[in-house]
């Protein structure tokens, strides 16, 4: 059962559901009939999203959890119970050169962006396999396929997610569990501080996506049984270009990003 047919009567868990893309994903899942479990750290923000869902007639439950903490993730997964749809969405960025990153900050980014998703998936996958039903989404990034200066650790965490998703999608296919990664370009959410926005290449700033476009692409991908969705789709062409002409893409990427980062130091 690869294609998501209906959400009626199904349980969905969304990490990072208190803001941005995760908030809209949670609201859409609930609007289509799923019982939604909202995972995030900020109490007021996650309660606000739960209230929005209930006001629209949906069902929402909130679970406090720092996804960068393994014990909290395992406890939240236990409290959630069996889940049909897992959306590993929590994450954060921040643009800086590798030499300006502290080790604690690097480790935290890998924990939240990658290990949190790994832990939730490991904790929730077995009941899916036992029931031969489940959908697992990884909210990765175009930075999970293309390295860009200023995103070394972020890219490493997202490349790891994409690799995990690609492998799992093959391992779990015969068990009835569908795995999909979503790779958006820059999206207009609180993810970016004003300073981060300044440091974005102008092409990324001009072409910033509405979070709704990412949510539409994610649901469309699930309905069609897709395994990897890049938003906007045409950017996937750059993966091909990079494989064929690596030096060309490398030069263009350096030119578009490095001066802006160096100027911000």
Ligand X SMILES: NC(=O)c1ccc[n+]([C@@H]2O[C@H](COP(=O)([O-])OP(=O)(O)OC[C@H]3O[C@@H](n4cnc5c(N)ncnc54)[C@H](OP(=O)(O)O)[C@@H]3O)[C@@H](O)[C@H]2O)c1
- Kindly state the helix (H) or strand (E) to which residue 134 belongs, with its residue range: strand 134-139
Q: Which of 13, 36, 90, 172 binds ligand X (CB under 6 A)?
A: 90
Annotated catalytic residue, options 135, 154, 159, 192? 154
As measured in angstroms, the least distance from the Cβ of 100 to ligand X is 20
DSSP conformational letter for 98: G
- Kindly state whether residue 139 participates in binding ligand X, applying the rule CB under 6 A: yes
- Kindly state whether residue 190 participates in binding ligand X, applying the rule CB under 6 A: yes
Examine residue 232 and say whether the peptide bond preceding it is cis (omega within 30 degrees of 0).
Answer: yes
Q: Which of 2, 32, 47, 92 binds ligand X (CB under 6 A)?
A: 92
Which tokens sit at 64? 């406090």
- Answer yes or no: are the C-beta atoms of 201 and 260 closer than 8 Å: yes
Instruction: For ligand X, give the closer residue by CB, 9 or 102.
Output: 102
Q: Which of 31, 176, 191, 241 binds ligand X (CB under 6 A)?
A: 191
Instruction: Give residues 147-186 in contact with ligand X (rule: CB under 6 A).
Output: 184, 186
Q: Which stretch binds ligand X (CB under 6 A): 2-10, 11-19, 121-129, 233-241?
A: 11-19
Which residue has tokens 């396929």? 145
> What angle is formed at CA 137 by the lines to CA 121 and CA 8, rounded to 5 degrees?
100
Q: Which of 2, 31, 45, 213 binds ligand X (CB under 6 A)?
A: 45
Residue 92: Cβ-neighbour burial (10 angstroms; 0-12, 13-18, 19+): middle
Q: How many CB atoms lie within 10 A of CB 117?
A: 29
Which residues would be at the binding site for ligand X (CB under 6 A)?
Answer: 15-22, 40-42, 45, 65-68, 89-93, 112, 139, 141, 184, 186-187, 189-191
List the catalytic residues. 154
């Amino acid at each position: 059962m690869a294609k998501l047919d209906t959400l009626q009567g199904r349980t969905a868990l969304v990490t990072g559901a208190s803001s941005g893309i995760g908030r809209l994903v949670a609201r859409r899942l609930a609007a289509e009939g799923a019982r939604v479990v909202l995972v995030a750290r900020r109490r007021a923000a996650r309660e606000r999203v739960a209230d929005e869902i209930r006001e629209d007639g949906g069902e929402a439950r909130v679970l406090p959890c720092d996804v960068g903490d393994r014990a909290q993730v395992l406890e939240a997964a236990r409290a959630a119970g069996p889940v049909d749809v897992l959306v590993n969405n929590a994450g954060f960025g921040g643009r800086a050169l590798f030499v300006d990153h502290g080790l604690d900050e690097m480790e935290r980014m890998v924990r939240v962006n990658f290990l949190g998703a790994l832990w939730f998936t490991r904790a929730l996958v077995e009941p899916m396999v036992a029931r031969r039903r489940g959908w697992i989404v990884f909210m990765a990034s175009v930075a999970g396929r293309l390295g860009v200066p200023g995103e070394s650790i972020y890219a490493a965490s997202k490349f790891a997610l994409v690799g995990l998703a690609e492998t799992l999608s093959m391992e779990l296919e015969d068990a009835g569990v569908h795995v999909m990664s979503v790779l958006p370009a820059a999206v207009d959410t609180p993810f970016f501080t004003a300073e981060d926005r300044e440091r974005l290449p102008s092409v990324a700033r001009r072409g910033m996506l509405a979070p709704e476009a990412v949510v539409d692409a994610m649901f469309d991908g699930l309905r069609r049984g897709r395994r990897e969705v890049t938003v906007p789709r045409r950017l996937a062409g750059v993966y091909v270009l990079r494989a064929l002409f690596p030096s060309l893409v490398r030069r263009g990427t350096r030119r578009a990003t490095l001066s802006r980062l160096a100027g911000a130091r």
